[in-house]
Structure 1
Amino acid sequence: MNANSLSISQENPHNFTSNSRRINVQIAQEEVYSFFVEITKKLSPDDVLREFRGLFIDGLDSEDSDYIPGIYSVFLDDNEQELYNTLKRCCYIIVNNWKTNRKDKYIQELVNLFVNDNLKIKTDNAPIVKVCKSWLENFFNSKDYQELKLFAAKYDESSRGHWANRYSSYLLIDQSVNKNNPIEQQEAARKLSKQIKDKFKFELAMYIARSQSAVSSTTRYKNPSVLGDNALRLIKSIVLKKGAFSHENIAHIFIKQTQNQTLEEFKINLEKYLFFSVDKQESVEIWKQQFVNTLSLWKTDYNQEIITKELFLRTCNRVIDCLTIENGKEPSSLFVLLITQGHALTLVIILLKIILICQNSRKHLETRIARLIRFYENYPEDECKGVINFMEIFNITFAIYAENVEYNLIKMEEEQSSNPQLNLDGYRVFSQMKVDRHK
């Protein structure tokens, strides 16, 4: 079995009508997809790479002016986008299989196939070959290729390189919910994002355990955040909120009390809920008023409607937009205001409160986080310290409130003050992985 055995490999179907042409492209695509689904199950990764290279890359340096390289013959009538879609889906059919079968190391070789001097356009290339090479060059320079590279990254070294690499799990979530992506890409992105998050949660739990032990610091587990020793103090202050007045308990009370309210009533109570126990600093009060004004003006035509599950979700999603990236492209003014004034923890806690009352908003929030990362990744790390601090606090907070990890704060020594926040050093955090008894 090889790429040349495909019936589309050496065709030159220039005599088809546009309708027949479209059908021919679809048939060719399905044949190619089936081919790669089959060979990834049966052949070694080296052989799969050889077949991929034979179909999409080999032959692009032919000096024969009449030669049309393999699969490209199907797409030459201004059908670059369809070639693009075919190439992309084939990549993810391979990636998904290799991820499932723990053959991750070969994904880098797949990515590297496009880093090839032979793919550069040369003056003596035939016109058709130049077109084919330009298509591959466009793919190489595209966002899609950058997304493909995420699957080849070594996540034990994710702290190296560009600062945005540390937050790849959110970029992957964005891929997983994008319906324009191939289903194989969505599935692979969903799996890898969960893998990265689970790894962070495990490393955080181990770091907490080791950093509080009396054993030499040389045996400490790696701190998965970049906050240094401040991470432990942050964790303690977050865990303090668990208990009778925990964020979870208050969220349950809010949900019960707002049933059958109108949207107008719900918006008023939502504002009170989100800002309950938030420090009443002047800068936060200004920010709060701006938020209240924005929310009150949203969907005023529906103010007298009884809040439904759908309206509940839309309202929570709208609040997330207001607090992160309102127009889908640039950070909202509220986000910039809080981050620049050093209130990252306040913002993270408010976002957490939204998710505690509406778990269905979780993916919406994570896609907005991904777009924030995409916006700020164009700036050097020195100019993004506030955003990075926000991301680190966000990661830790949501790891602490994860469903499969339980954190508790235990007082280790007596103190005179009744306020535990005044002496966090006298407390230790204990984490425990929960066992899913339903499995």
Structure 2
Amino acid sequence: MTTNRLSISQENPHCVTSNSKQLDVQTAQEEVYSFFVEIVNKLTPEDVLREFKSLFIDGLDYDYIPGIYNIFLDDNEQELYNTLKRCCYIIVNNWKTNRKDKYIQDLVNLFVNENLTIKDNNPLLVKTCKIWLEKFANSKDYNDLKLFATKYEDSSKGHWANRYTSYLLIDQSVNNNNPKEQQEAARRLSKQIKDKFKFERAMYIARSQSAVSSTTRYKNPSILGDEALRLIKIIVLKKGAFSHDNIAHIFIKQTENQTLKEFKINLEKYLFFSVEKQELIETWRQQFADSLSLWKTDYNQEVISKELFLRTCNRVIDYFTIKNAKEPSQLFILLINQGHALTLVIILLKMILICKNSRRHLETRIAHLIRFYEKYSEEECKGVINFIEVFNITFAIYAENVEYNLIKIEKEKQSSNQQLNLDSYRVFSQMKVDRQK
């Protein structure tokens, strides 16, 4: 097979140099991108892989530098990575759209090619190129690429963080340093994973409560087991006149046209209102209030604008999750270590109910938490994993397009402690109707 759009070949390794000396790196990159956009729409996946391998990998055991690398040898290592990434995602995005997912693993595997092994007789510049590719194969960018090759069915296998790929993909989709093709592919795949999880959860709820299917129970997508169903019942029972979304609506109305200082004070009251075991949370509440009061003090007397409202909500999310996108916050560590995952999740839910535009920010912060803790074993991360599972269930009830309802199917037996018998209720779920359409 021959192509005419990009005149880079191993037979004539200097064919680029006649033009590339006059071209800047950006122009050369655009030529490479256009080449892959064209061939991924015309050629078979096998031929696309062959072209990619020919351009970036084949020839690195020769005594000269393959054509493409001549563009980057003048201290442009980062530009090589940028080019490599975008070419990968031009291919991945197309294959995801056209259901050719199985070939993505072949693309990922190209970077463990034996040709990339550095040999003693390699010229210095060839060694440099191989070192660059080796760095890429050990980078976060490469780990991000591997997410697209992981089958949803395999997400429960291997490392515990694999179960939460949708969050890692959301983080990719909002990172403007990533090529647009990567952001689009990440958005699409994250939605696919979420929708499949949503469907499996609905089927599990329906069939786990059916006596007919009790012997062949549907797979539970949550690792909480039967506790997941119990948690759903507890959360749904709390929905009503004083549900979190109604209280959020009241809060928004009452804080209109307040100054930032007034808003901070009322936000703290709102977040900790109706939190159970109030005597246990005073330490966390005071720590949060102190941190928030010191934030943006120069703006305290300004009436809160939409922009300042969003920035404040995002800042609060950071206080309860991870600071500087690097290390868990003190509040997060306190709440998780003391076993208050549900309390933390409810506080975060309250933030999203007053500011839906902070949802992406929150999900990226969860991705950063996963990235921070993934170096630890599942046994060491039980509290964090439990938090994510509770988060998924709670937000499915309040912040997704699925409506959950409880139906009482048998009369509760009277007991001396008046404890609610959750077994007398059944959960039913249905898709919400978008009435704005």
With normalisation by structure 2, the TM-score equals 0.94
- The alignment partner of 2:219 has SS state of coil
* Between 5-14 and 149-158, the greater mean CA deviation after superposition: 5-14
Q: Structure 2 matches for 1:81-96, cutoff 5 A?
A: 81-96=78-93
Q: Distance in 2 between matches of 1:420 and 1:96?
A: 56
Match in the other structure for 1:170: 167
Q: How many residues align?
A: 433
1:218–1:314: structure 2 CA closer, same or farther, 3 Å change rule?
Answer: same
Q: Distance in 2 between matches of 1:326 and 1:418?
A: 47
Runs (5+) with no aligned partner, structure 1: none
- The alignment partner of 1:215 has SS state of coil
- Say if 1:11 and 1:74, in contact at 8 Å, map to a contact too: no
1:4–1:79: structure 2 CA closer, same or farther, 3 Å change rule?
Answer: farther
Does 2:109 match 1:106? no
Q: Structure 2 matches for 1:270-419, cutoff 5 A?
A: 270-415=267-412, 416=414
Q: Distance in 1 between matches of 2:370 and 2:404?
A: 28
Match in the other structure for 2:154: 157
* Between 392-401 and 334-343, the greater mean CA deviation after superposition: 392-401
Percent identity, aligned pairs only? 80
Q: Distance in 2 between matches of 1:132 and 1:319?
A: 45
- Say if 1:84 and 1:139, in contact at 8 Å, map to a contact too: yes
Instruction: For residue 433 of structure 1, report the CA deviation from its aligned partner.
Output: 1.6
Q: Distance in 1 between matches of 2:253 and 2:34?
A: 51
Does 2:245 match 1:248? yes
Q: Distance in 2 between matches of 1:23 and 1:82?
A: 15
Q: Distance in 1 between matches of 2:72 and 2:228?
A: 53
- Say if 1:3 and 1:55, in contact at 8 Å, map to a contact too: no
Match in the other structure for 1:428: 426
Match in the other structure for 2:47: 47
What do the CA deviations read for 1:260-281 (whole angstroms, capped 9, x no partner)? 1111111111111111210124
Instruction: For residue 422 of structure 1, report the CA deviation from its aligned partner.
Output: 2.0
Instruction: For residue 283 of structure 1, report the CA deviation from its aligned partner.
Output: 2.9
Match in the other structure for 1:36: 36
Q: Distance in 2 between matches of 1:270 and 1:22?
A: 59
Match in the other structure for 2:121: 124
- Say if 2:17 and 2:67, in contact at 8 Å, map to a contact too: no
What do the CA deviations read for 1:53-108 (whole angstroms, capped 9, x no partner)? 1111111122xx3x221311211222111111111100000000011111111111
The amino acid that maps onto 1:49 is L
Match in the other structure for 2:14: 11
- Say if 1:405 and 1:433, in contact at 8 Å, map to a contact too: yes
1:345–1:407: structure 2 CA closer, same or farther, 3 Å change rule?
Answer: same
Instruction: For residue 13 of structure 1, report the CA deviation from its aligned partner.
Output: 7.0
Q: Match for 2:211 among 204, 209, 214?
A: 214
The amino acid that maps onto 2:393 is I
Q: Distance in 1 between matches of 2:279 and 2:305?
A: 35
1:177–1:44: structure 2 CA closer, same or farther, 3 Å change rule?
Answer: same
Q: Distance in 2 between matches of 1:81 and 1:304?
A: 45
- The alignment partner of 1:82 has SS state of helix
- Say if 1:3 and 1:51, in contact at 8 Å, map to a contact too: no
Does 2:262 match 1:259? no
- Say if 2:5 and 2:35, in contact at 8 Å, map to a contact too: no
Does 2:82 match 1:80? no
Q: Distance in 1 between matches of 2:32 and 2:436?
A: 41
What do the CA deviations read for 1:105-151 (whole angstroms, capped 9, x no partner)? 11111001111122110112222221111111011011100000000
Q: Distance in 1 between matches of 2:137 and 2:32?
A: 21
Runs (5+) with no aligned partner, structure 2: none
Q: Distance in 2 between matches of 1:198 and 1:271?
A: 34
Match in the other structure for 2:183: 186
What is the root-mean-square deviation of aligned Cα atoms in Å? Answer: 2.1
With normalisation by structure 1, the TM-score equals 0.94
- The alignment partner of 1:121 has SS state of coil
1:419–1:116: structure 2 CA closer, same or farther, 3 Å change rule?
Answer: farther
